[in-house]
Amino acid sequence: MTAPPADGFGASLQLGTSITLNVFRYNPKTDKKPRYQPLAVPLNRGMTVLEALLYAKEHYDNTIAIRYSCRMACCGSCGMKINGHPKLACDTQISDLHSSEVTIEPMDNYPIVRDLVPDFEDFFVHHKQLNPWLIRNESSEQDNPSGTYLQTQEEVDKYLQFSNCIKCGLCYSACPTVATDKYFPGPQSLAQAYRYVVDSRDGGANARVKLLDTHHGIWRCHFAGSCSSVCPKGVDPAMGIQLLRKFLLTGQIDRKKAGSLLFKEVSATPS
């Protein structure tokens, strides 16, 4: 077996050479169909896909539309398809792709605003529908707190992993059910529903189950697991969905008391 080069780049990627970015370009207001724009970018050590795109935007074409902010995998703004896989551009190094050509496209399951920028309206409609906040049965203490609500470490551990979600939308893009059912809330919102249902401070499980226990809800997930495989924060939405199903099946949520309610149609239709 041949040892890799000391710089870790491999035979096809060497410092001082260029990579080719094949950037998806499409403005639905003016273009009849998408196209790909090839751009040569000089390779630097540690260069991320976002840095390569910003270089291309600065030196070649400033009309390339990109959404980004923190550049440190915290805000979730720069989600896109990189060589066919949903990733955060700021968290993906060119050297890890092992290719001198990088194809960059907008994420699937979202309408396109322009180029690499997706429309997140449906995503956040689904997220808000499942009440992603603490619901208290008694509001007096919540409105006029007299002390600190303490939790044990075991209580925190039940939801802590799922609170790491940064709403980047990669799981929504990777989900095959989202692609076929516009009423399906998606793995992000379902995992966040579990995050609050399992929180010992929350009393809103019966309210949320009205939106979960439907044929467009939690039962539409067929556990492909693609959502968890693309999550940059290790949230594991697929596990959250399975644990939420356990709540329903074991009677830990009163399904009769909760009743049933179909999802309201969202204002925009996913592509």
Are residues 132 and 109 part of one domain? no
Among all chains, which residue has been given the structure tokens 């000391």? Answer: 6
HSE-CB of 135 using CA atoms within 13 angstroms? 14
Q: Checking DSSP bridges between strand 101-105 and strand 18-25, what pairing results, if any?
A: parallel
Is the CB of residue 208 less than 8 Å from the CB of residue 193?
yes
Residues 6+ apart with CB under 8 A from 22: 36, 37, 38, 101, 102, 103, 104
Least confident of 107-116, 129-138, 225-234, 243-252: 243-252
Task: Give 141-150 pLDDT, tens digit per residue.
Answer: 777 878 787 8
* Burial label, 172 (beta-carbon count in 10 A; 0-12, 13-18, 19+): buried
Tell me which of 29-43, 131-145, 217-231 is least confident.
Answer: 131-145
The structure tokens 């990777």 sit at 174
DSSP 65-125: ------SSSSS-TTEEEETTEEEEGGG-BGGGGT-SEEEEEPPTTS-EEETTEE--HHHHH
pLDDT in tens, 6-49: 444 444 566 668 999 999 999 999 999 999 999 999 999 999 99
Range of the domain at 236: 121-258
pTM of the model: 0.85
CATH code, 214: 1.10.1060.10
Whether 106 and 79 share a structural domain: yes
Last residue of a domain, one of 92, 118, 144: 118
Q: Which of 106, 176, 165, 95 lies closest to 130 in space, CA to CA? A: 165
Residue at a domain's end among 70, 101, 118: 118
pLDDT tier at 248 (50, 70, 90 boundaries)?
A: confident
Dist. CA 15–CA 163, nearest whole Å:
39
Mean pLDDT of the 53-64 span: 97
Co-location of 107 and 184 in the same domain:
no
